[in-house]
Amino acid sequence: MKTLRVELGERSYPIHIGKNLLSRVPAFLTEAGVSVKQMLYVITDENVAPLYLEPLLQSLRESGYTVHSSVVAGGEQAKSFHVFERVMGEVIAAGLDRKSVILALGGGVVGDLSGFVAASFMRGIPFIQLPTTLLAHDSSVGGKVAINHKLGKNLIGAFHQPLAVIYDTDTLTSLPRREVAAGFAEVVKHGLISAEEFVAWLEENAEALNQLEPELIATAIERGCAIKAQIVSEDETEQDTRALLNLGHTFGHAFEAIAAYSQLNHGEAISIGMGLASELAEKMGLCEQGVSERTKRLLARYHLPTEWPDGFDPYDVLEAMRRDKKGVAGRFNLILPRTIGKVEIVKNVDEALILQVMRESAGRRQK
């Protein structure tokens, strides 16, 4: 097992990464100072529940904890008002109090939803992340929790740091291929924003990583978590540098919102977004030629889309980008690459140029 730390003063917490950690959750709870007098509440989804919920509940009960649980639908649709209201009702009915602890067992959707339940119930109770997707190496760290609105992604949320992240890498063995690919989108993003040598390593080891070779995948997760943890420690509430983590996300969130959070998953949407961001940066002369090609080639090696998806109109995407919270006061502030391994916040990007890049991508698709 490897343990990293997110350094945030009194809100600092560990990220444990390793095999067979779900069976050791009671020990990690003790380490985090959670006593058996505190009621626990596990939130998970319908795909994860049949695989990992019962053994977890059993080990918690055997250790003396009182624990209840809710199971939500699988996929992005669960980050909705409707599901939030239902789960909140179940949590209240179970009799949780201010000392109770929520455990988020699942991918980024369960993590974001459960974290928002924890942030809102009685104005905030503690929660613990038990990530089960590759993508969740990103979403489980950093305390951004949210649900979606039909007008835009993650528009209703909070900053609420977990007490701990306990990442059992054995859970990845049951992850569908498409979700493995989606997870690599955020792994690649962590390389593109901060570490050329990590990008080169991802290029070199793509085949084995796609096969989830245990040692390599653990290294990829540790590196991704470390990059995220470092940035979050520097700028918890996104006053400046944390925004760099949004590479590809203004585009990506727009695709997700337009498709009503179906069709493309988050990883696919931001993969297309990172491709578009790199093209835009080349066109603006922010980075050398070839950055875009290398970015897209790497994403493609992880079976991710990088070109315009079917059925989207570039103008609609631009409109949805305007609503994304990163577009402050109608202006486009985008995260764009300077080179491989370095990105920058670029303010007031010309709307016409953004539209042109999207139209070119859509044009290539139609050929």
Ligand X SMILES: NC(=O)c1ccc[n+]([C@@H]2O[C@H](COP(=O)([O-])OP(=O)(O)OC[C@H]3O[C@@H](n4cnc5c(N)ncnc54)[C@H](O)[C@@H]3O)[C@@H](O)[C@H]2O)c1
Q: Which residues bind to ligand X, rule: CB under 6 A?
A: 45, 47-48, 51, 74-76, 79, 106-110, 112, 132-133, 135-136, 138-139, 142, 144, 154, 171, 174-175, 179, 182, 186, 265-267
The answer to whether 87 and 62 are in contact (CB under 8 A) is: no
> Helix or strand or coil: residue 334?
strand
State yes or no: is 242 an active-site residue. Answer: yes
Known binder of ligand: residue 2?
no
User: Tokens 């990088």 map to which residue?
Assistant: 306
The least CB distance from residue 227 to ligand X, in Å, is 13
Q: Is 123 tagged catalytic?
A: yes
Q: Which two tokens stand for residue 282?
A: 């080349």
User: Which residues, at least 6 apart from 306, have a Cβ–Cβ distance to it below 8 Å?
Assistant: 271, 272, 274, 275, 295, 296, 299, 300
Residue type, 140: S
Residue 6 marked in a binding site: no
Catalytic residue among 137, 189, 223, 242: 242
Q: List the one residue out of 139, 87, 95 whose CA is nearest residue 114.
A: 87
Q: How far is the CB of 188 from ligand X (least distance, A)?
A: 13
User: Is residue 189 flagged as an active site residue?
Assistant: no
- Which residues, other chains included, contact 339 with Cβ-Cβ below 8 Å and sequence gap of 6+? 196, 287, 288, 291
Q: How far is the CB of 154 from ligand X (least distance, A)?
A: 6
144 vs 296 by CB, closer to ligand X: 144
Q: How large is the greatest C-alpha to C-alpha distance in the chain, in angstroms?
A: 63
Quick count: other Cβ atoms within 10 Å of Cβ 326?
17
Question: Is there a catalytic annotation at residue 338?
Answer: no
Closest CB to ligand X among 116 and 291?
116
246 is catalytic: yes
Is 186 annotated as a binding-site member?
A: yes
330 is in an annotated binding site: no
Q: Has 275 been labeled as part of a binding site?
A: no
Find where tokens 């949407």 sit.
269
Active site residue 266: yes
41 or 184: whose CB is closer to ligand X?
Answer: 184
Quick one: 157 or 275, whose CB is closer to ligand X?
157
Comparing CA positions, the residue from 257, 267, 280 lying closest to residue 344 is 280
Cβ-based nearer residue to ligand X, 174 or 211: 174
Angle at 128 between CA 193 and CA 176, to 5 degrees: 65
108 in a labelled binding site: yes
Please say which residue, 119 or 291, places its beta carbon nearer to ligand X. Answer: 119
Q: Is 37 a catalytic residue?
A: no
Which of 123, 177, 215, 367 is the catalytic position? 123
Residue 367 annotated among the catalytic residues of the structure:
no
Q: Please tell me whether 132 is known to bind a ligand.
A: yes
Contacts for 206-214: CB closer than 8 Å, 24+ residues apart: 206/298, 206/301, 206/302, 209/184, 209/302, 210/180, 210/184, 210/301, 210/302, 210/303, 212/172, 212/173, 212/180, 214/19, 214/169
Look up 207 and say whether it is catalytic: no
228 is catalytic: yes
Residue nearest to ligand X (CB): 108
Residues tagged active-site: 123, 144, 186, 228, 238, 242, 246, 249, 253, 266
Binding residues: 108-112, 132-133, 144, 153, 186, 249, 266
Q: Output the known binding site for Zn(2+).
A: 186, 249, 266
Residues making up the binding site for NAD(+): 108-112, 132-133, 144, 153
